Structure 1
Amino acid sequence: MENSEKFFSEIRNGNAAKVAQMLQNQPTLINAKDGRGSTPLILATYYNQKEVAETLLSHGAGIDEKDGSGNTALMGVCFKGYVEIAKLLIDAGANVNVTNVMGATCLIYAVTFNHLEIAELLLANNADISVKDARGSTALDHAKTQDFKPLITLLEANS
């Protein structure tokens, strides 16, 4: 347990070399989860640690693994607005249409938090705009509720 805490600390701090060294010594750390159910990859991407995320992916991190709320690494970066990491994850094969326990998708998160560039990236990679969350709302519904005009235009053009 102590080793996994140190591992997660190195991930949060962006120490890719130390993360790689720890994985070499204890490969099972790639499957560790923190107290919230976050995997190493989810944690790295949440903290915008691109180099660490690349290291974890090269060591076989599960790209679509979910945290305790059913969110993947890609969902987290769509919520946070980290475009470069979103590109990295999509290029590595992340599922852009995965849903969490509330039915939210990557696109719904990008729209809800007004991240136009990420929404464009997701749509360019076949994000499904018809998915409804647990409240019955699509990404377009979220854009309209918050009056995010550029996102409304984008989503209507892709309907």
Structure 2
Amino acid sequence: MKSLSKIITTLWIACLPLQSCGHPNGNKNMKLSTQDSISSLLKAVSEKDATLVAKILSSNPDLEIRDNKGRTPLMVATYNADGKIAELLISAGADVNAQDDLLNSPHLYAGASGDLSILKMSLNHGAKFDIYNRYGGTALIPAAEKRHLEVVKILTEIPDYPIDHVNNLGWTALMEAIILGATGETQVAIVKVLVDAGADVNIADNDGVTPLQHAKNRNMDKIAKILVAANAH
């Protein structure tokens, strides 16, 4: 009997650390671990669950947490073009300049993708113009190439915006608009906006070829006329 009693006692003690040997949900009221909190916010943003994101934000989580691609919750929302969640995150203090592994930031990607809503929010919350994408460029350069006329207008209206910044390819926004931009009236309008904003029409590429020469080579006659009128050579 003593031996049996000892066995029963030993089994009872072994169960104590589990807080209930027969109840797997015994810990359900414990707080989420840090990793769970990180996963929860990133997951909610990824799934575009604005209600859950707002709930999580009420607990003041780390807004600059990263996924395995270096993306913050705001960066994920930006890739999703999710203005509603982006606004929640930015209003809570998310960094609009935080770059992921591809060197995209919410501000840079919003400009490059033509997302006016997130672009404007980034500008109102500390967007920096000396943080560059993986090509060493500003938000204006890809916007000028990709026919995002309204983005070009917004950025060129900002006092002291680096309109003539040269990226790693040796191109300014004006140069990229001509070399990579599609022909058409939108591209003509973009070049005119850049020129009217004071873009230097004579900054050549790394091979010494000027915007005017590239325009002529691509038979962009209307753009060539704009450049000539601005004293391009």
**Structure 2 length as normaliser, TM-score?**
0.62
Is the Cα–Cα contact under 8 Å of residues 79 and 110 in structure 1 kept in the other structure? yes
Aligned residues: CA RMSD: 1.8
Q: Percent identity?
A: 27
- Higher helix proportion (structure 1 or 2): 1
- Whether 1:103 aligns to 2:142 is no
| Cα shift readout 1:65-114 (whole Å, capped 9, x = no counterpart) | 11112221011111221112211111222124431232111001211211
Aligned equivalent of 1:118: 151
Q: Decide which moves more: 129-138 or 50-59.
A: 50-59
Aligned equivalent of 1:54: 87
Is the Cα–Cα contact under 8 Å of residues 90 and 121 in structure 2 kept in the other structure? no
Higher relative contact order (CA 8 A, sep 6+): 1
- Taking the aligned partners of 1:61 and 1:92, their CA distance within structure 2 comes to 9
Q: Decide which moves more: 147-156 or 132-141.
A: 147-156
Structure 1 residues 18 and 35: CA distance shift in structure 2, 3 A: same
Q: How does 1:16-27 map to 2 (within 5 A)?
A: 16-25=50-59, 27=61
- Whether 1:93 aligns to 2:126 is yes
Aligned equivalent of 1:12: 46
Aligned equivalent of 2:189: 150
Equivalent pairs counted in the alignment come to 158
Segments of 5+ residues of structure 2 without an aligned counterpart are 1-34, 199-233
- Taking the aligned partners of 1:52 and 1:65, their CA distance within structure 2 comes to 16
- Taking the aligned partners of 1:25 and 1:155, their CA distance within structure 2 comes to 45
**Structure 1 length as normaliser, TM-score?**
0.89
Greater Rg by CA: 2
- Taking the aligned partners of 1:124 and 1:12, their CA distance within structure 2 comes to 33
| Cα shift readout 1:13-49 (whole Å, capped 9, x = no counterpart) | 3322211222334612x12111211111111122121
Is the Cα–Cα contact under 8 Å of residues 45 and 73 in structure 1 kept in the other structure? yes
- Whether 1:74 aligns to 2:103 is no
- Taking the aligned partners of 1:97 and 1:156, their CA distance within structure 2 comes to 22
Q: Report the AA paired with residue 158 of structure 1.
A: A
Deviation at 1:2, TM superposition (A): 4.6
